Chains A and B, each alone.
Chain A
Amino acid sequence: MAVTHDTTADRALAEVPGRIKKEQRALPSFLKTTGLALLFPMLLLLIWEGTVRFELVAGHLLPAPSEVVGTIGAMAADGSLWGHIGITLYRLLWGFFWGTLAAVILGSIVAMSRNAETMFDPLIQAFRAIPSLAWVPLFILWLGIGEPSKVTLIALGVFFPVYLNVVGGIQSVDRKLIEVGKAYSLSQFQLVRRIILPASLPSFITGLRSGLGLGWMFVVAAELLGASQGLGYLLVLGQNTLAPNVILASIVLFAIMGKLTDYALKKIQTRALHWQDSLKT
């Protein structure tokens, strides 16, 4: 270094080790939280595995975690796993699609027109009060035991949360923003496209996420009630063949799939709503 002291360079030099120290501290803290979060589940799994291994519980009723993973692995190896997952996803997405479509159409009509609201909303609310599973016998009678009755049931489950959020979202659009649109003499259609739609998007996506959750619930219900393939069918199969490992494998797969689909929606939500004040950028 030169004889004269360059103070800024000095400061920069002094800063560098500090920053490295900070990073070193940051990394273990990240590991620490992940470790802490994993500790308890891992411990549970170990205890579970242990109690089964040392025959403290009956292995034919509660298979060890390793056996559950093994079952999934075997199904993946013989290819049957993909068929089950595929058909379940197909039913879910199809039901989700129709339920959402109906909810968006009916919801926007009800939210936009007071007359439509007085006409349709009480009836829709009355239908909401019926536990959706009560429709199952009727759907099977009308639509048979095949795909249509299942998709209809799932669509029905998806419909209500999406509908409620569409109506709520549109009705709570800031009147002051609509006034801005009116001041620029936008037509009714332009008001919808340029202000009402984007402003009600957050509520709509929230509705989609809770709709998806209910969709998964109704997939299980639909497949329990008569299917020859699918994750829900595996539950029935496991029960009938006294194979708890198959039941647990199905449950684990449901957990993974549910989490994955919700994660995808959450990604879309963050992407589409990055302008929202409440979301971190």
Chain B
Amino acid sequence: MSIQVERFGRSFDGVTAVEDISFQAEPGEIIGLLGTSGCGKSTILRGVAGLDTDYEGTIRISGKEVNGPSGELGIIFQEPRLMPWLTVLDNVCFGLEGPKEEQKEKALEILKVVGLEDFTGHYPKQLSGGMAQRTAIARALVTEPSTLLLDEPFSALDAFTKLQLQDMVLELWERYSPTMIIVTHDIDEALTLCDRIVILKGQPGELHDNVKVTPAKPRRKSDPKLAELKEYILESLDMTRNAQKEVRA
């Protein structure tokens, strides 16, 4: 499904957090919202998810304006947010409807894909951080959403688990091809996953750039084109040494 964000703005208690953000996602595209902390990336995502409706501007999903959460979206938060009283299997079934047997079948299938088929009866307290986040990913994907929203999904994980799960998300994307919006502050992550990177900057956050990432996925980390892009993004976020010197001067 396509997503259109037009002139999005949001203020909290009179303080503007983001303003005038517009971008689009074509069906099956992976969009990265990249920016330093506090520039309102997650605020935009909450608007798209329908969890927040007090924003300015319009958000359309397949042409229809968003005015509340819809079951057609899958959301993956920064924390796994599993129900501690449910087993892995029941947590994955959380968003499903219909007969129990069917739910279980679907959940088991997706748990195999994320590699947790041996942990169906475990409770969240018995899982490692990576396993818990994988359960959360399975929960979001089991409803086969046409749009998947990810809010810094891997930022709380260690570097190895992070790489593993990024690969897994790409695999899942190849399989189900949902439209995805990923909020992240990790440039490498954005360059690995995204077709297009929307760069936000400043406080209040404003749209700084909208970069297309052309190399085909899966991408090699050593791709010179990606290195160039990374340099460019760092520069535009004033993150390189020269830029920082300039700012100080």
> Which residues does A use to contact B, with CB under 8 Å?
176-177, 179-180, 182-185, 194-195, 198-199, 201, 274-277
Could you tell me the dominant secondary structure of chain A's interface residues? helix
A-B contact pairs, 27 of them (CB 8 A): A176-B77, A176-B79, A177-B83, A179-B51, A179-B77, A180-B77, A180-B94, A182-B69, A183-B49, A183-B50, A183-B51, A183-B69, A183-B73, A184-B69, A184-B71, A185-B68, A185-B71, A194-B94, A195-B83, A198-B83, A199-B83, A199-B85, A201-B85, A274-B123, A275-B123, A275-B124, A276-B84
Q: Which residues in B have their C-beta under 8 angstroms from that of A179?
A: 51, 77, 81
The closest CB in chain B to the CB of A179 belongs to B51
CB within 8 Å of A: which B71-130 residues: 71, 73, 75, 77, 79, 81, 83-86, 94-95, 123-125
CB within 8 Å of A: which of B125-179? 125
Residues of chain B contacted by A195 (CB below 8 angstroms): 83
Inter-chain CB contacts under 8 Å: number: 47
User: In the complex, what distance in Å separates the CA atom of A177 from the CA atom of B68?
Assistant: 17
What distance in Å separates the Cβ of B225 from its nearest Cβ neighbour in chain A? 36
State in angstroms the CA–CA spacing of A195 and B70 once bound together: 18
**B79, closest chain A residue (CB):** A176
Decide: A176 and B125 in contact? CB cutoff 8 A. no
Interface residues on B, range: 20 to 34
Known: A182-B69, A184-B69. A275 touches B49 (CB 8 A): no
- Chain B residues near A198 (CB-CB < 8 A): 83, 85
Q: Which residues of B contact A (CB under 8 A)?
A: 49-51, 68-71, 73, 75, 77, 79, 81, 83-86, 94-95, 123-125
B-side contacts of A184, CB under 8 Å: 69, 71, 94-95
Smallest CB gap from B49: residue in A: A183
Query: Beyond the given A185-B68, A195-B83, A275-B125, could you list 11 further A-B residue pairs with CB under 8 A, ordered by the A residue number?
Result: A180-B81, A180-B83, A182-B69, A183-B50, A183-B51, A183-B75, A184-B94, A198-B85, A275-B84, A276-B84, A276-B125
**Which of B71, B77, B83, B123 has the most CB atoms of chain A within a 10 A radius of its CB?**
B83
Please report the C-alpha to C-alpha distance between residue A201 and residue B84 in the assembled complex, in whole angstroms. 12
Q: Which residues of chain A have C-beta atoms less than 8 A from B68's C-beta?
A: 185
